[in-house]
A and B are shown apart, each in its own frame.
Chain A
């Protein structure tokens, strides 16, 4: 059972380049999330999805887009990367009603924008 996986694990981008981070879960969870973690800031929610084909904005959505075409996958896109997007990105999933159930996290993607 792989749980939550993220691709890639590391990436270096130049300012203005684009990329997509892929998150996959094999637990048949309805809810999926993208967070960024910055030193001294904890984890902050970027976007989330309550089901296939639906997405919603979190606390820090600017500069990011997401898509959930399949229940098991949640993609995070950066259209024009900026140095301020240098961070560690975590994907998570939960069974349902995330306020009651724990979120399961992927291993993270370390992104550096130069």
Chain B
């Protein structure tokens, strides 16, 4: 069965600091996808990124970057120069071949102005 671990329950940073959110996963699948979602205080879930297990290249989107390392089963998310609007709960997710998403327990990020 799939398993996702987000060991950091809560993180606080001061605005403009960089922050990395950790995600460690377990799967027996040889091919899989990993996802990150953001849940701002308003409550909705916003899709951020999808990554195929075949592609270990780091991805950068503006201030966001993702580091996928198959050797350590990790898919970490870094926010550079954090802003108050980044305050949210961030979830890492790993679906199985039966179309069920398994979410981590989330990391609550607070960016202090």
Question: Residues on A close to B: CB < 8 A?
Answer: 31, 33, 40-45, 48, 50, 58-59, 88, 90, 92, 97-108
Contacts and interface: CB of A to CB of B under 8 A. Distances in A.
12 contacts: A40-B105, A41-B105, A43-B101, A58-B100, A92-B45, A98-B101, A100-B50, A103-B47, A104-B47, A105-B37, A105-B45, A106-B44
A43 B103 contact: yes
| 8 smallest beta-carbon distances between A and B, as pairs | A99-B95, A105-B45, A98-B99, A42-B103, A42-B105, A102-B47, A43-B103, A108-B43
Given A42-B104, A97-B99, A107-B43, 11 more contacts: A40-B9, A42-B103, A48-B99, A58-B100, A59-B100, A90-B45, A99-B96, A105-B44, A105-B45, A107-B44, A108-B44
The listed residue with most A CB atoms (<10 A of its CB), out of B45, B50, B95, is: B45
B33 interface: yes
B35 interface: yes
Nearest to B49: A102
A25 B102 CA distance: 22
- Chain B contact residues: over half helix, strand or loop, or mixed? loop
B101 A45 contact: yes
A58 B103 CA distance: 13
Interface residues of B, number: 21
Interface in B3-47: 9, 32-33, 35, 37, 43-45, 47
Contacts of B104: 42
Nearest to A41: B105
B91 interface: yes
The listed residue with most B CB atoms (<10 A of its CB), out of A42, A45, A101, A107, is: A42
The listed residue with most A CB atoms (<10 A of its CB), out of B37, B44, B104, is: B44
A43 to B, nearest CB: 4
Nearest to B43: A108
A42 B35 CA distance: 14
B105 A31 contact: no
B47 A50 contact: no
Contacts of B37: 105
Nearest to A104: B47
